[in-house]
Structure 1
Amino acid sequence: MQTHPFLLKIRSFLSYRLFTNLLFVLLGIIVFGVLYGNVKPKTLDINLYEDAPTTIRAPKKFVDKEATAKKKEEAKAEVASVYTPKEGAIDNSTSLIHSLLESVNEVKDESKQQAGDEENLKPPTSTDTTEQLKLLKAKLPKDKNNNVTNSLSDDVLKTLLEASEDDLSRVETIVTTQMKIIMENGVKEEELNEAKLNLEQRITNYSFKGDLSTAAVKLGKVAIEPTLYYDAEKTDELKKLAEANVEKVEIIEGGVIVEDGDLITPKTYSILKSLGMVEDTFSFKPYVGLALFVLVVIGSLYYFFYTLEVTEERKQNYLILTSIVFVISLLIMKIVGLIEQLEINDIAFILPAAFTGMILRILLNERIAMMMVFILSACSSIVFHQQFNGSIDIEIAIYTLFSGVSGILFLVSRNQRSNILRAGIYVALVNILILGFLILLSGTSYSNSEYVYYIVFALVSGIMSSILTIGFLPFFEAGFGILSSMRLVELSSPTQPLLKKLLTDAPGTYHHSVMVANLAEAACEAIGANGLLARVGCYYHDVGKSKRPHFFIENQLNMGNPHDRVSPETSRDVIISHASDGAQMLRKHKLPKEIIDIAEQHHGTTLLKFFYYKAKEQGKDVKEEEYRYPGPKPQTREAAVISIADSVEAAVRSKKSPTQAEIQKLVHSIVQDRLQDGQFNECDISLKQLETVKRSLCETLNGIFHPRIEYPELQAKGEEA
Structure 2
Amino acid sequence: MEYWIRRIRTLVSYRLFTWVILGLVALMTFLLLFSHVRIEKYDIQLFSVADETIRSPKTIIDTRRTDIEQERAASEVNEVYVYRPEIVDNRTSLVSSIFDFAADFNKDTTESGEQETAVTDNMLKNLRDALSEDVSEDVTAEIDDSIFEMLLIASDNELERTKGILVNQIEASMANPINQTDIPAIKDRLEERLSSVAIHEDLKKASIELGRFAIVENNIFDEEQTEARREQAREALDPVQILEGQVIVQEGYLIDRDIYRQLEALGLTTNDETIAPFAGLVLFSILIMLVLYFQFSSWTIEEEKKQNYLTLVSMIFLVSLGLMKVTELVRELDIPHVQYLFPAAMAAMMIRSMINTRLALVVTILLAASGSIVFNDSITGSINVEIAIYFLFSGLAGVLFLSYTKQRTYLLRAGLFVALANILVVTSIGLIENAQYSLTDWTVYLLFAVTSGVLASVLTTGLLPLFEAGFGILSTMKLVELSNPNHPLLKRILTEAPGTYHHSVMVANLAESACEAIGANGLLARVGCYYHDIGKIKRPHFFIENQLNQQNPHDRLNPEASRDIIIAHALDGAEMLKKAKLPKEFVDIAEQHHGTTLLKFFYYKAKEKGMDIREEDYRYPGPKPQTREAAVISVADSVEAAVRSMKDPTPEKIKDLVQSIVQDRLKDGQFNECDITLKELEIIKNAFCETLNGIFHSRIEYPEFTKTTERKKEA
With structure 2 as the length reference, what TM-score do the two structures score? Answer: 0.82
Contact 2:57 2:381 in 1 (8 A): no
Contact 1:529 1:638 in 2 (8 A): yes
For 2:697 and 2:106, locate their aligned partners in 1 and report how far apart those are by CA, in whole Å: 147
2:297 aligned to which of 306, 310, 315: 306
1:199-257 deviations in Å (ceiling 9; x for gaps): 999999xxxxxx99999998777555434432222222332233334343344554443
Partner of 2:27: 29
Contact 2:328 2:374 in 1 (8 A): yes
Partner of 1:643: 634
Q: Are positions 1:522 and 2:520 aligned together?
A: no
1:96-131 deviations in Å (ceiling 9; x for gaps): 6787689779877549999979x97xxx7xxx7656
Identity %: 50
Contact 1:276 1:388 in 2 (8 A): no
Partner of 1:479: 470
Letter in 2 for 1:374: I
1:387-427 deviations in Å (ceiling 9; x for gaps): 64533222222222233233322223132113333333223
Q: Are positions 1:405 and 2:403 aligned together?
A: no
Pairs aligned (count): 709
Superposed displacement of residue 487, structure 1:
1.1
Q: Are positions 1:55 and 2:53 aligned together?
A: yes
Query: What are the residue-to-residue correspondences of 1:183-222 with 2, within 5 Å?
Result: 188=179
1:28-72 deviations in Å (ceiling 9; x for gaps): 333333333222223333222222223334445543221221122
Superposed displacement of residue 491, structure 1:
0.4
For 2:190 and 2:215, locate their aligned partners in 1 and report how far apart those are by CA, in whole Å: 9
Superposed displacement of residue 591, structure 1:
0.1
Superposed displacement of residue 364, structure 1:
2.4
- Bigger drift between 146-155 and 327-336 goes to 146-155
User: Taking structure 1 as reference, are residues 597 and 203 closer, same or farther at Cα in structure 2, changes over 3 Å only?
Assistant: same
Partner of 1:715: 710
Partner of 2:76: 78
Query: What are the residue-to-residue correspondences of 1:317-332 with 2, within 5 Å?
Result: 317-332=308-323
Superposed displacement of residue 440, structure 1:
1.4
User: Taking structure 1 as reference, are residues 114 and 106 closer, same or farther at Cα in structure 2, changes over 3 Å only?
Assistant: farther
Partner of 1:69: 67
1:470 aligned to which of 447, 461, 473: 461
Partner of 2:199: none
For 2:111 and 2:379, locate their aligned partners in 1 and report how far apart those are by CA, in whole Å: 100
- Bigger drift between 702-711 and 175-184 goes to 175-184
SS in 1 for 2:403: coil
Superposed displacement of residue 590, structure 1:
0.5
2:230 aligned to which of 214, 230, 239: 239
Contact 2:324 2:342 in 1 (8 A): yes
SS in 1 for 2:582: coil
For 1:626 and 1:288, locate their aligned partners in 2 and report how far apart those are by CA, in whole Å: 65
- Bigger drift between 79-88 and 661-670 goes to 661-670
Contact 1:129 1:158 in 2 (8 A): no
1:558-578 deviations in Å (ceiling 9; x for gaps): 877666777776655544433
Contact 1:276 1:389 in 2 (8 A): no
Query: What are the residue-to-residue correspondences of 1:83-94 with 2, within 5 Å?
Result: 83-87=81-85
For 1:141 and 1:681, locate their aligned partners in 2 and report how far apart those are by CA, in whole Å: 112
Letter in 1 for 2:28: I
2:623 aligned to which of 589, 608, 632: 632
Partner of 1:433: 424
User: Taking structure 1 as reference, are residues 238 and 553 closer, same or farther at Cα in structure 2, changes over 3 Å only?
Assistant: closer
For 2:350 and 2:449, locate their aligned partners in 1 and report how far apart those are by CA, in whole Å: 19
Partner of 1:333: 324
Structure 2: 5+ residue stretches without partners:
196-201
Letter in 2 for 1:580: L
Partner of 2:344: 353
1:468-526 deviations in Å (ceiling 9; x for gaps): 33333223322222222211111000121211222233333333322332233233334
1:298-329 deviations in Å (ceiling 9; x for gaps): 33333333332233333333333332233223
1:157-191 deviations in Å (ceiling 9; x for gaps): 779989999x999x999999999999789765588
2:691 aligned to which of 700, 703, 716: 700
For 1:17 and 1:228, locate their aligned partners in 2 and report how far apart those are by CA, in whole Å: 81
With structure 1 as the length reference, what TM-score do the two structures score? Answer: 0.81
Contact 2:574 2:591 in 1 (8 A): yes
Superposed displacement of residue 535, structure 1:
1.7
SS in 2 for 1:146: coil
For 2:302 and 2:686, locate their aligned partners in 1 and report how far apart those are by CA, in whole Å: 30
Superposed displacement of residue 593, structure 1:
0.8
For 2:480 and 2:4, locate their aligned partners in 1 and report how far apart those are by CA, in whole Å: 29
User: Taking structure 1 as reference, are residues 110 and 587 closer, same or farther at Cα in structure 2, changes over 3 Å only?
Assistant: same
Structure 1: 5+ residue stretches without partners:
205-210
1:146 aligned to which of 126, 137, 140: 137
Contact 1:129 1:161 in 2 (8 A): no
Letter in 1 for 2:456: S
SS in 1 for 2:248: strand
For 2:104 and 2:607, locate their aligned partners in 1 and report how far apart those are by CA, in whole Å: 160
Partner of 2:198: none
For 2:84 and 2:292, locate their aligned partners in 1 and report how far apart those are by CA, in whole Å: 74
For 2:252 and 2:422, locate their aligned partners in 1 and report how far apart those are by CA, in whole Å: 41
For 2:114 and 2:558, locate their aligned partners in 1 and report how far apart those are by CA, in whole Å: 178
Contact 2:107 2:153 in 1 (8 A): no
Partner of 1:8: 6
